[in-house]
Structure 1
């Protein structure tokens, strides 16, 4: 079958509808009406002689045939977008990926793994934004982000990257370190907190330590600062498993007695649901999902 030029609008409407699983969202992306998107899809179904979507009260879902066409059309349109950027002379931006993420995760977990990415993909340039405020994914903004949270954000596609646990740590130089033998003893030393949703009260409850008068003496907005404060002997910190690894490895911090508390939130890779990841960004996402977590 020869692909005629007049098929392109219908294929474009179908690809957007398949990506969103929603005709109205596709219409918003393409500056069309939902009925126009529906018309394009029905026209494509008629020409192909197959049903591409199952329609139901809550929206639409792809059929097996629809999924095959969605995979092919999405890949083809992404390739075309890449070629157009190159023809416009936008070579640098074509191979640059902008990532918004947490400073603590970048510094301790991501940075040690980046040489592997650089060796495998030397042509891709990476730009990181580690501001604490949630970045808007506007046009010209970041391609993707790594967020710590419940996994659901309005307007964003989300893919779970890894879970984590929380446990207490302190420097061997901390006053009172040698007297800590059980979890209850930690309540007797100065405590360091950050702005995480789970904190010392959650951990002591999980450790079955009740009624302790906690001295939360130092507070930091950033997890990295909290761990550095602990490494300098100011008190005990409640560490995140993924972030504390280098501090434990070089002995600046030591795990204290007590259980590991499963975190309510996980790390997720996110990107705008209304647009496809550019090829270079997709390469970075695929690499993130392939690297060893521990």
Structure 2
């Protein structure tokens, strides 16, 4: 017997009634009336020529034939539900952008701006990875990456996001800060460093303080941790402007005397040169570039 499309409503009503062992509960689940569910089941029984339920004063129960059909219907709907879920997940995946970036830039520059992106593109979902190790842009890997470097990496297309500068910052209530009037005076304070390629030696030389001998009391692998330490009065940190901005705007840090030294490297958005960006990833890339115009 061929399964025709006009059997489907009756089979759906039967499967729900069989699962609940109750027409009223099936009706509630399917947004039908109990009499409509009963009608669908009767119609199915007439077509098959067998009784699927035993009806009695306390309700209904499946016959042997009804149990056989209920098991088959349940298996079929489970298979369909799985396929539908996979198809929907695939469609949702087209609207998800995976980005690998730096923790410091994520915390201080990217996250504060994301509400604007989410409001403009509520259908695009983001996965942000801030691992220190450089991610591989394999199939299934990130769509975009933000890197701090010279701007050329084999196999990657790079868009300049922004340049940056270095300058010293400290907590406004740090002891001894009132005595700092020149770049040379910074040497009298505890210094905090991170693992950036440009550090205190570069800044003091650009500030005209030659032959400076200094002691880096604390060294952090991440620039954000260095700024947090400075905000607690542990010393003076050498900050990158885009990372330090929220600390300065919020009053947690103040800038000390001395020049803002241009960094040798810049921030870039990168992606595989051989791969065409999906629509959602292109939208996110364009949005990031617009943030710094």
Of the two, which has the highest radius of gyration? 2
Equivalent residues, number: 208
On the 8 A contact 1:173/1:232 being kept in 2, the answer is no
Cα deviation, 1:206-229, whole Å, max 9, x if unaligned, reads 000012220111000000100000
Q: Which residue of 2 aligns with 1:115?
A: 115
Q: Which residue of 1 aligns with 2:150?
A: 150
Alignment of 1:1-294 (within 5 A): 90-292=90-292
Residues in 2 aligned to 1:226 and 1:202: alpha-carbon distance in whole angstroms: 17
Residues in 2 aligned to 1:244 and 1:238: alpha-carbon distance in whole angstroms: 9
On the 8 A contact 1:189/1:215 being kept in 2, the answer is no
Coordinate RMSD, CA, aligned: 1.4
Cα 1:93–1:215 change in 2 (3 A) is same
On the 8 A contact 1:182/1:258 being kept in 2, the answer is yes
On the 8 A contact 1:151/1:160 being kept in 2, the answer is yes
Q: Which residue of 2 aligns with 1:37?
A: none
C-alpha deviation, 1:174, in angstroms:
1.8
Cα 1:246–1:93 change in 2 (3 A) is same
On the 8 A contact 2:162/2:292 being kept in 1, the answer is no
On the 8 A contact 1:148/1:267 being kept in 2, the answer is yes
On the 8 A contact 1:104/1:243 being kept in 2, the answer is yes
TM-score, L = length of structure 2: 0.69
C-alpha deviation, 1:139, in angstroms:
0.8
Q: Which moved more, 1:86-95 or 1:269-278?
A: 86-95
Moved over 4 A (4+): 86-89
Residues in 2 aligned to 1:88 and 1:212: alpha-carbon distance in whole angstroms: 62
Q: Which residue of 1 aligns with 2:56?
A: none
Residues in 2 aligned to 1:133 and 1:256: alpha-carbon distance in whole angstroms: 32
On the 8 A contact 1:146/1:269 being kept in 2, the answer is yes
C-alpha deviation, 1:277, in angstroms:
0.6
Query: Secondary structure of 2:147's partner?
Result: strand
Cα 1:88–1:115 change in 2 (3 A) is closer
C-alpha deviation, 1:88, in angstroms:
8.1
Residues in 2 aligned to 1:234 and 1:137: alpha-carbon distance in whole angstroms: 39
C-alpha deviation, 1:292, in angstroms:
4.0
Cα deviation, 1:98-132, whole Å, max 9, x if unaligned, reads 00001110111111111111111110000000011
Residues in 1 aligned to 2:167 and 2:240: alpha-carbon distance in whole angstroms: 7
Residues in 1 aligned to 2:162 and 2:260: alpha-carbon distance in whole angstroms: 16
Residues in 2 aligned to 1:212 and 1:269: alpha-carbon distance in whole angstroms: 36
On the 8 A contact 2:161/2:292 being kept in 1, the answer is no
Unaligned regions of 5+ residues in structure 1, if any?
A: 1-85
C-alpha deviation, 1:167, in angstroms:
0.4
C-alpha deviation, 1:91, in angstroms:
1.0
